[in-house]
């Protein structure tokens, strides 16, 4: 039976005005990423992007990827710092496109929370927009959602979707990889966006650390180390494609080298890694020591200092490494392609 009071969406936990405020705050950050290909962006029921520039391609293919930041957002909440996780998802998606030989066209986002904080949404999207600008990829649209009862108070979910383009002749599908090809690793700067459930369990639950704890082994606080922005290799690799015939690219995300390298190889080939050539950052050593984790499990969970792997013919290895170093990358041979 009704008590005579009118129910409202706000009383149910959803604040439409907060959503409108958030959209106003993020508008300026989003629009600065636009290029001449963006016909209509944020504010409508859908974004519109022109494909006029792909006319130069003989057989253009669209490549799409979608992913989330995962439980790294919990560390962002501990530090009350959310711009870095916005950048994380843009860079993560851009690296995924590289694995198919594609350049980014545009990015879209989805931010969900128990209750929307317009200023926090602005901080997240500003991080996304800054990252998009750096790789020349417009942020053309997105969605914010309040879902009380689905997310705990103060929690967020951050998801990104990126669409790229590649000419079919340049598609990286694994078929160009040959036995004896060189595997070149590009350094990560830490965990990137993977392995956070295990890292949080070890550092916070088991070791009892707070995010603000300073750790000599890390040269900074736990929180600052865990919030280092996932690196984008987009500019360096796209430039490399114009200099060297790259045969494969693997983005080292969840599952580490163990799971991600096999994804780009033909069925009869595999990676022969020189693990002694991989120097991983102090955060990995610290997590392994505190958690008493086997080296095998570490390589199966984390990137262990290698954020991206490029496959080239052995004759192109030296040229590739030298070029990447000139671009500011830390790059070195971590193994070669062998037969199964």
Handedness of CA 301, 306, 307, 311 (dihedral sign): negative
> Model confidence over 207-245: pLDDT tens digits?
999 999 999 999 999 999 999 999 999 999 999 999 999
CATH number of 182-339: 3.90.650.10
* C-alpha to C-alpha distance for 61 and 103, rounded to whole angstroms: 11
Question: How many Å apart are CA 150 and CA 129, to the nearest integer?
Answer: 27
**Alpha carbon distance 227, 73 (integer Å):** 9
316-340 confidence digits (pLDDT tens): 999 999 999 999 999 999 999 999 8
Helices vs. strands in the chain: H and E counts, helices first: 11, 13
The rounded distance, in Å, linking the Cα atoms of 33 and 40 is 13
Q: Which helix (H) or strand (E) holds 113?
A: strand 103-113
**What confidence score (pLDDT) does residue 31 get?**
72
Q: Is 29 helix (H, G, I), strand (E, B) or coil?
A: helix
**For residue 73, with 0-12 CB atoms within 10 Å meaning exposed, 13-18 middle and 19 or more buried, which class applies?**
buried
d(CA 256, CA 307): 9
Domain ranges of the chain: 16-170, 182-339
CATH number, domain 16-170, options 3.30.1330.10, 2.60.40.10, 1.10.150.170, 3.55.40.20: 3.30.1330.10
Residue ranges, the chain, pLDDT below 50: 1-2, 5-9, 11-16, 18-19, 22
Q: Minimal CA–CA distance to 79: which of 210, 252, 251?
A: 210
Residue 321 in contact with residue 233, Cβ under 8 Å? no
- HEC secondary structure over 226-269: HCCCCCCCHHHHHHHHCCCCCCEEEECCCCHHHHHHHHHCCCCE
């Amino acid at each position: 039976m009704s008590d005579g009071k009118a129910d409202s969406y706000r009383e149910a936990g959803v604040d439409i005005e907060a959503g409108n405020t958030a959209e106003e705050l993020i508008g300026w950050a989003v629009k600065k990423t636009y290029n001449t290909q963006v016909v209509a962006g944020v504010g409508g029921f859908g974004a519109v992007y022109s494909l006029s520039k792909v006319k130069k391609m003989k057989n253009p293919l669209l490549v799409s990827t979608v992913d989330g930041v995962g439980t790294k957002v919990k560390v962002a909440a501990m530090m009350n710092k959310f711009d870095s996780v916005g950048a994380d998802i843009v860079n993560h998606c851009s690296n995924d496109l590289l694995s198919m030989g594609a350049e980014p066209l545009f990015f879209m986002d989805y931010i969900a929370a128990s209750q929307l904080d317009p200023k926090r949404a602005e901080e997240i999207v500003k991080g996304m927009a800054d990252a998009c600008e750096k790789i020349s990829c417009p942020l053309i649209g997105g969605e914010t959602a309040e879902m009380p009862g689905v997310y705990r108070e103060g929690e967020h979910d951050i998801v990104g979707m990126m669409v790229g383009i590649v000419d079919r002749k340049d598609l990286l599908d694994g078929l160009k990889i040959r036995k004896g090809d060189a595997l070149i690793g590009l350094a990560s700067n830490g965990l990137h966006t993977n392995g956070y459930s295990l890292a949080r369990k070890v550092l916070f639950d088991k070791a009892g650390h707070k995010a603000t704890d300073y750790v000599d082994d890390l040269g900074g606080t736990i929180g600052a180390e865990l919030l280092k922005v996932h690196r984008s290799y987009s500019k360096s690799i796209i430039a490399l494609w114009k200099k060297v015939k790259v045969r494969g690219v693997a983005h080292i995300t969840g599952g580490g080298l163990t799971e991600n390298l096999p994804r780009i190889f033909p069925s009869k080939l595999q990676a022969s890694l020189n693990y002694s050539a991989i120097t991983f950052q102090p955060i990995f050593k610290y997590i392994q020591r505190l958690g008493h984790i086997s080296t095998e499990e570490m390589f199966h969970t984390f990137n262990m200092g290698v954020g991206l792997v490029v496959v080239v013919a052995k004759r192109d290895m030296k040229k590739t490494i030298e070029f990447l170093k000139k671009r500011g990358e830390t790059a070195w041979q971590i193994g070669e392609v062998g037969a199964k």
